């Protein structure tokens, strides 16, 4: 049917049209979409859709329920969300139960500070009340975090997360402690902690502040008891002394050993009729300091390892001091924890080297001392009481306060002739944050989980903080926690692969796990002491009885009930038959809490299962949660609780520095969300490789926003050109498509394959790179640009146009699905604007499938064509610079080629004008290897409708301003 009146030309051009706006307006649209998902109950719908599918369990490491989330927390949760969502779209049933770590010191500290602001003190409250306030604080914090996580688009069981402070969890924590007891891995021993002698309390590192402090610095002689000839024949028969240095003379009565570095070289040098051993590097500085010979005569040189397990006598006590080798020894000075700071300071002061390379070791008074002492089976000896006074057994100094004793000991040593030199030494020293007095390191009774052996006695006898346990240094001992852990980690898939090395290294070197804390806000150690004979009862049956009470009343029961009420009725002491009991006052390390999660959560929820497929946390968790979870998994089931462990890096600022609120370089998630939406943070997470540290700043996020816009516009172009396309009616079979459309589909297949593989390997940055590259290069710069003419100017129902649309639909569909886990909001929006959607949300859909066709010939041909196109574009640019043309449609292209190139161009001759986006092509044979390109001004006039140039513009009477192609198109349109 032909109409009399000509059509309005502009209206016959099929310009893109879609409800998918160019401007995302994410800050507003995201909350609206979250609201919609909430109404749909999307998480529940996904669970229902996943019924019967194979399960994939990512187990959430609980963030600490204290402050608001920061950028790193956001990244951690988003990465987990990416795993869960991608596995869901791969066809797994992948439920996500988030958790919160609710106990611990930071909350106690926070609550204490809040109380102080109100003029109250912790001691004004009873412990139940204090715990109640802690609980409330955790509840508030986790509510606020939950709100933030949901806002980030994290999908999960937010209505019912797991809390380490829930009744059930606290009960399970107690039960797991019983499990460790059952396996014979729990014992009570001693361990040095920071101790304030004024407040008579243990202090956390967080409660310690460093101030300048003046201590006596002393060099002391320890006579060698072993035969010096064993070190070097030159020393045979000599009076040999090992020289130590310390700034805490009061710890000398507790000296049980001397540590040297196995690889350092030590020297024995002569002074009078005596011989002194110090590190070779320090011989001169020690000699100078102590006023010995300026050029001491060295009798022997030997590695520290030569001294291993030789014995000295204590400087004045009738006791052995064992020589040990340890990597912690430095040439800067003593390595007591109290003086660790001195070491770095002393090393900087090159003019005044302190120390001898032989480290005075008192296992009851220093961290490194404790560790090495344990390794060598030394007693954790601490003859100092709560008030900081020497116990009666300390000869000469019993009852003295340790700081007063310093000078007395120095004088005493001087009189005895064992002191070589002393001076006043100013250094940074830990002080109590409350009373501002200097603190000491002091061994106190603690509960441990043994790494290396099963203890015959459930609870090791312990008097006055002494550890009587044998410590074996044999990790291969079967049945030990350490050996089982070392074996299990080899079966775990670590991503990146170096994780296993790090874990192995950590496990090999770690001391027994100290699980007791002298704190309030946590799960009590469910142990009772007989009031008569002080027998400790750590009985699994009793603990289970207590756990059942926790299950009903929460762990608060430990504080609200008496020991008798918590024990089974009529429980009597096996030792003395008494029935009066006291309760242990320590709580469990919060790492024990969170380590229990795989048991408390995975085994207790219908939809989950043990072990987990994946744990995904930052690298700080090797010593933390990965470790504690492993310990618990082995205690419970002799197996790691995870099959795969993925580690992510740290969030840094643009300069690669750690983000700190105080440094002012922290990027706040809330602010970013407000400005450019959660989608920006999500996209940032995949914009670089999370296995390494990730950098974030306003500028970097701006780049990410630009990337987002590019993706959005690409999707928008596809959607806009699908206006009026009915897939059922208009789709064109692949065989009947234009060749470039088939090429685009092959490219889509290729990128789909790549993206699916990247998701499979958790390499989300490769997902992003592949999709981004596809969107910008393959689609935006090439395919879309080329098919515009066909889409816009051909009759709407023209088969060639429908061919392109068929491809665009597949592209839009695949983009939405493949971006689904990342751009959760935008992908859903794309999905809504596609004509073929089946599910109500993209998040109920699955990933597209890729076929195995290689399309090698097709790719080879089009790669060649696009290479020629690059040359053509360069030539067109030159013509543009020469003011010959503006738009490329103003050009006529003359191509000359020979051989294969000519054949290729001839084969696609019909398509070349579209491929190069010019109005006319002249193709001829030319000599030479490459393709010769000549640009000239196109012939004829510009067609008003399609903007191509043609000599035939004006041929039509009805449409005098239009070219022959448009005349045909208009005829087609008129027929419709």
Partner RNA sequence: CGCGGUGUAGUCCAACGGCAAGACGCUCGACUGAUAAUCGAGAAACGCAGGUUCAACUCCUGCCGCCGCGACCA
Residue 191 burial (C-beta neighbours within 10 Å; 0-12, 13-18, 19+): buried
**Judged by CB, which is closer to RNA: 187, or 591?**
591
**Judged by CB, which is closer to RNA: 49, or 700?**
700
**Minimal distance, residue 325 CB to RNA, in Å:** 14
**Minimal distance, residue 696 CB to RNA, in Å:** 9
**Minimal distance, residue 282 CB to RNA, in Å:** 15
* DSSP code, position 778: I
**Minimal distance, residue 659 CB to RNA, in Å:** 8
**Judged by CB, which is closer to RNA: 306, or 695?**
695
CA distance 228 to 237: 7
**Judged by CB, which is closer to RNA: 702, or 851?**
702
* DSSP code, position 338: G
Secondary structure of residue 58 in the 3-state scheme: strand
Backbone torsion region of residue 294, taken as left when φ is above 0, otherwise alpha when ψ lies between -120 and 50, otherwise beta = alpha
Residue 910 burial (C-beta neighbours within 10 Å; 0-12, 13-18, 19+): exposed
CA distance 920 to 892: 5
3-state secondary structure 889-953: HHEEEEEEECHHHHHHHHHCHHHHHHHHCCCEEEEEECCCCCCEEEEEECCCEECCCCCCEECCC
CA distance 959 to 965: 12
**Judged by CB, which is closer to RNA: 506, or 923?**
506
**Judged by CB, which is closer to RNA: 247, or 714?**
714
Tell me the β-bridge partners of 892.
Answer: 920, 936
Secondary structure of residue 646 in the 3-state scheme: strand
**Minimal distance, residue 296 CB to RNA, in Å:** 26
Asked whether the beta carbons of 222 and 312 are under 8 A apart, the reply is yes
3-state secondary structure 294-329: CCCEEEEEEEHHHHCCCEEECCCCCCEEEEEECCCC
**Judged by CB, which is closer to RNA: 152, or 891?**
891
**Minimal distance, residue 969 CB to RNA, in Å:** 11
Phi, psi of 65 (to 5 degrees): -85, 70
Please report, to the nearest 10 degrees, the dihedral formed by the alpha carbons of residues 874, 875, 881, 886 taken in order.
-100
**Judged by CB, which is closer to RNA: 614, or 694?**
694
**Minimal distance, residue 557 CB to RNA, in Å:** 22
What DSSP line would sit under 512-565, residue for residue? -EE-EES-SSS-B---EEETTT--EE--HHHHHHHHHHHHHH-TTHHHHS-HHH
**Minimal distance, residue 448 CB to RNA, in Å:** 12
* DSSP code, position 384: B
**Minimal distance, residue 443 CB to RNA, in Å:** 10
**Minimal distance, residue 656 CB to RNA, in Å:** 4
* DSSP code, position 406: H
CA distance 748 to 754: 10
CA distance 377 to 382: 15
**Judged by CB, which is closer to RNA: 22, or 305?**
22
**Minimal distance, residue 415 CB to RNA, in Å:** 36
**Judged by CB, which is closer to RNA: 238, or 519?**
519
**Judged by CB, which is closer to RNA: 50, or 465?**
465
């Amino acid at each position: 049917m032909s109409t009399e009146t000509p059509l309005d030309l502009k209206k016959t051009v099929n310009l893109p049209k879609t409800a998918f706006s160019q401007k995302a307006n994410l800050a507003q649209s995201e909350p609206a979409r979250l609201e919609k998902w909430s109404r749909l109950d999307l998480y529940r719908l996904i669970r229902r859709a996943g019924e019967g599918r194979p399960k994939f369990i990512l187990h959430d490491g609980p963030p600490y329920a204290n402050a608001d989330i920061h950028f790193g927390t956001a990244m951690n949760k988003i990465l987990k969300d990416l795993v869960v969502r991608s596995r869901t779209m791969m066809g797994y049933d992948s439920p996500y139960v988030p958790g919160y770590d609710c106990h611990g010191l930071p909350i106690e500290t926070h609550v204490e500070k809040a109380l102080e602001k109100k003029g109250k003190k912790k001691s004004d409250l009873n412990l139940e009340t204090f715990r109640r306030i802690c609980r409330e604080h955790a509840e508030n914090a986790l509510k606020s975090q939950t709100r933030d996580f949901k806002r980030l688009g994290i999908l999960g069981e937010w209505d019912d997360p797991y809390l380490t402070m829930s009744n059930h969890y606290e009960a399970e924590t107690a039960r797991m402690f019983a499990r460790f007891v059952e396996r014979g891995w729990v014992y009570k021993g001693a361990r040095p902690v920071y101790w304030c002698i004024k407040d008579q309390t243990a202090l956390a590192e967080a409660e310690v502040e460093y101030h300048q402090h003046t201590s006596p610095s002393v060099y002391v002689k320890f006579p060698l008891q072993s035969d010096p000839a064993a070190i070097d024949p030159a020393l045979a028969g000599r009076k040999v002394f090992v020289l130590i240095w310390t700034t805490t003379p009061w710890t000398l009565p507790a000296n049980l050993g001397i540590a040297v570095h196995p690889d350092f070289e030590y020297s024995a040098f002569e002074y009078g009729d005596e011989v002194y051993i110090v590190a070779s590097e320090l011989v001169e500085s020690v000699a100078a300091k102590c006023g010995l010979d300026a050029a001491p005569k060295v009798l022997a040189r030997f590695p520290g390892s030569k001294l291993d397990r030789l014995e000295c006598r204590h400087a004045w006590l009738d006791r052995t001091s064992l020589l040990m080798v340890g990597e912690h020894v430095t040439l800067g000075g003593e390595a007591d924890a109290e003086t660790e700071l001195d070491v770095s300071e002393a090393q900087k002061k090159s003019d005044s080297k302190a120390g001898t390379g032989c480290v005075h070791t008192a296992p009851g008074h220093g961290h490194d001392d404790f560790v090495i002492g344990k390794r060598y089976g030394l007693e954790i000896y601490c003859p100092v009481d709560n008030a900081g006074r020497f116990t009666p057994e300390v000869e000469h100094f019993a009852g003295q306060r340790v700081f007063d004793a310093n000078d007395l000991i120095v004088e005493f040593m001087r009189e005895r002739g064992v002191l070589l030199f002393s001076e006043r030494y100013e250094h940074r020293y830990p002080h109590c944050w409350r009373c501002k007095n200097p603190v000491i390191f002091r061994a106190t009774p603690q509960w441990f989980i043994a790494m290396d052996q099963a203890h015959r006695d459930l609870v090791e006898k312990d008097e006055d903080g002494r550890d009587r346990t044998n410590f074996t240094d044999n990790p291969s001992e079967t049945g030990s926690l350490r050996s089982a852990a070392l074996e299990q980690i080899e079966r775990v898939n670590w991503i990146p692969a170096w994780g296993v090395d790090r874990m192995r290294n950590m496990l090999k070197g770690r001391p027994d796990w100290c699980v007791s804390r002298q704190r309030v806000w946590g799960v009590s150690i469910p142990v009772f002491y007989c009031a008569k004979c002080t027998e400790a009862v750590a009985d699994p049956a009793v603990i289970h009885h207590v756990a059942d009470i926790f299950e009903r009343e929460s762990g608060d029961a430990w504080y609200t009930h008496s020991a008798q009420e918590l024990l089974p009725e009529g429980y009597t002491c096996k030792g003395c038959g008494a029935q009066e009991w006291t309760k242990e006052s320590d709580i469990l390390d919060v790492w024990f809490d969170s380590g229990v999660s795989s048991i408390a959560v995975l085994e207790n929820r219908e939809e989950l299962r043990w072990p987990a497929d994946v744990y995904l946390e930052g690298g700080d968790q090797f010593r933390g949660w990965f470790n504690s979870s492993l310990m618990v998994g082995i205690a419970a089931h002799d197996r790691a609780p995870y099959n795969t462990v993925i580690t992510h890096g740290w969030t840094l600022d643009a300069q690669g520095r750690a983000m700190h609120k105080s440094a002012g370089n922290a990027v706040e998630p809330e602010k970013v969300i407000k400005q450019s939406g959660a989608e920006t943070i999500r996209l940032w997470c995949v914009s670089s490789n999370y296995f390494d540290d990730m950098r974030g700043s306003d500028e970097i996020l701006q780049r990410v926003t630009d990337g987002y816009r590019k993706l959005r516009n690409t999707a928008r172009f596809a959607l806009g050109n699908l206006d009026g396309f009915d897939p059922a009616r208009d789709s064109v079979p692949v065989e009947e498509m234009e060749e470039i459309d088939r090429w685009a589909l092959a490219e889509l297949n290729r990128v789909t394959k790549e993206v699916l593989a990247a998701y499979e390997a958790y390499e989300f940055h490769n997902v992003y790179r592949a999709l981004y590259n596809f969107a910008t290069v393959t689609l935006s710069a090439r395919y879309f640009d080329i098919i515009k003419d066909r889409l816009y100017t051909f009759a709407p129902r023209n088969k060639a146009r429908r061919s392109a649309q068929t491809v665009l639909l597949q592209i839009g569909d695949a983009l939405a699905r493949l971006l689904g886990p990342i751009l959760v909001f935008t992908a859903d929006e794309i999905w809504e604007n596609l004509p073929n959607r089946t599910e109500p949300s993209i998040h109920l859909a699955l990933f597209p499938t890729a076929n195995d066709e290689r399309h090698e010939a097709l790719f080879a041909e089009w790669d060649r064509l696009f290479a020629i196109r690059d040359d053509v574009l360069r030539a067109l640019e030159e013509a543009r610079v020469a003011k010959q043309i503006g738009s490329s449609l103003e050009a006529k292209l003359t191509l000359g080629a020979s051989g294969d190139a000519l054949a290729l161009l001839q084969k696609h001759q019909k398509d070349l004008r579209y491929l190069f986006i010019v109005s006319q092509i002249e193709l001829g044979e030319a000599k030479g290897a490459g393709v010769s390109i000549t640009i000239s001004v196109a012939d004829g006039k510009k067609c008003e409708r399609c903007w191509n140039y043609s000599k035939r513009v004006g041929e039509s009477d009805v449409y005098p301003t239009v070219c022959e192609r448009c005349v045909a198109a208009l005829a087609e349109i008129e027929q419709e």
